[in-house]
Structure 1
């Protein structure tokens, strides 16, 4: 008889060394592999995790196998090294629909709140579900910031380019809800999509901190991934071809800075750093 010993499941590594655009962080943390929002411009579409699957990006999500004791040990080891800064998440949304049932993100936050918190945790999402965890985020105090993606104020643009993502009004309500709860939050206009002239004023009334980015400096490849995703063609289909240029974001930032207090508006990497 052959050896029938079953191999143990591979342990999940939650904290992975940050690099590239996120080099200001010690680690990235992705509770899921894959993302149901499947935004048309997502740079992960051009990465191996998406390119070598049978199903298109946006049509599959794999929750990571959670072991509370294993994550707690990994967390403590990272804390012991000092300077623990974490970007959650770099290649998925921690509050995508699967989180309703899986509660992976919440369980991770629970352990962070039980143990010594990180020096800084940025929670990047476009989902109002983040409001569910306001109690845990408050326990992390000023060591956490929620970064809520709001790329446009035009629902027609949202439906054209990110049809599976939450409605814009729901995201703005979530921002206001987090502020009312006392959770640090920013709006991430990342990437800036075609919008109305009223968008800067809307942001200024909704949030105290904004970071803006575009397809040319924010996709982690100097615009190459965005070009491969044919975003210029998508803009052409929307009748917004002239807006597909770095100058569009630069002008938007200037207008936004006129509408908000000094130091409230950031561009690119600086706005996401700890």
Structure 2
């Protein structure tokens, strides 16, 4: 799959938190526009940033070359208000998609954060490349609360290939979770969205995460499942004989199952609270 890469100058890098991020976060931060992981279920496919784009989702990425510079300037202004600054990175892209290996935009932002830290930073990714920046995360943790949340929507590679064929493998992600956790940085496994998994899924996460986040296609797409329906998710589940996993209350069953293996305070469910902070 060819990807059109562009370098752009962003007007701003911090966006006021809205919707599901409104409780717990003050701002979102997206180092890129577009995402090469191109997950089939990604709700951003149904947002204006993609709907008015001629190039299909997953086939374009804009690099915000001035992201770190913007971050510093915007933080200086925000700090004058003396309000807490809680950042979610990222809400509409992946900060550790493949281009980051060369572009280093996310790493540059983290370097600026060490100098001008927020009060809380959650990094949301499915990219094992995050382990490259453990050195910076350890430093940042000295002045800022940090949570690294890695998406692990299933423990089955065959299921991952159906719904997210261009995303990193599950074993690579769990390995990354372990490395980050072993470095003393709080970690979270984001089962988002819930996809079919084996009975051993909890065992794979045991000892490498501090929290587990459960989200589904019906409660996590921002429109109570309507975006997921427009993306053809019910048909895709049916096509592969997985319809029993596409239920409005699947999060309840998954929560109950994981509660057998983990303390209740470790489990967070999208419908019951804001995005974790």
**TM-score past 0.5 threshold:** yes
- Structure 1 residue 69: Cα displacement: 4.1
Q: Which moved more, 1:260-269 or 1:22-31?
A: 260-269
TM-score (norm 2): 0.91
| SS of residue in 1 equivalent to 2:66 | coil
Go from structure 1 to structure 2 and tell me whether the alpha carbon gap of 1:28 and 1:216 turns closer, same or farther (over 3 Å shift). Answer: same
Deviation by residue 1:97-150 (Cα, 9 ceiling, x = unmatched): 0100100000001001012x1111110000100111111111222611011000
CA distance in 1, matches of 2:260, 2:197: 17
What is residue 130 of structure 2 aligned with on the other side?
130
What is residue 14 of structure 2 aligned with on the other side?
15
- Structure 1 residue 95: Cα displacement: 0.3
- Structure 1 residue 262: Cα displacement: 3.2
Larger Rg: 1
Tell me if structure 2 keeps the 8 A contact 1:201–1:256.
no
Q: Which moved more, 1:136-145 or 1:86-95?
A: 136-145
Mapped pair 1:196 → 2:195: no
CA distance in 1, matches of 2:255, 2:69: 45
Tell me if structure 2 keeps the 8 A contact 1:232–1:241.
yes
Tell me if structure 2 keeps the 8 A contact 1:12–1:65.
no
Mapped pair 1:97 → 2:98: yes
Mapped pair 1:166 → 2:165: no
Mapped pair 1:36 → 2:36: yes
Deviation by residue 1:129-177 (Cα, 9 ceiling, x = unmatched): 0111111111222611011000001100100110000000000000000
- Structure 1 residue 221: Cα displacement: 0.7
What is residue 5 of structure 1 aligned with on the other side?
none
| SS of residue in 2 equivalent to 1:57 | coil
**Paired residue total:** 265
CA distance in 2, matches of 1:245, 1:159: 21
The structure with more helix, counted as a fraction of residues:
1
TM-score (norm 1): 0.92
Tell me if structure 2 keeps the 8 A contact 1:211–1:271.
no
| SS of residue in 1 equivalent to 2:181 | helix
CA distance in 1, matches of 2:120, 2:229: 33
Q: What runs of 5+ residues in structure 1 fail to find an aligned partner? A: 1-8
Mapped pair 1:111 → 2:132: no
Deviation by residue 1:215-266 (Cα, 9 ceiling, x = unmatched): 1111111111011111011101221112100232211111101101231111
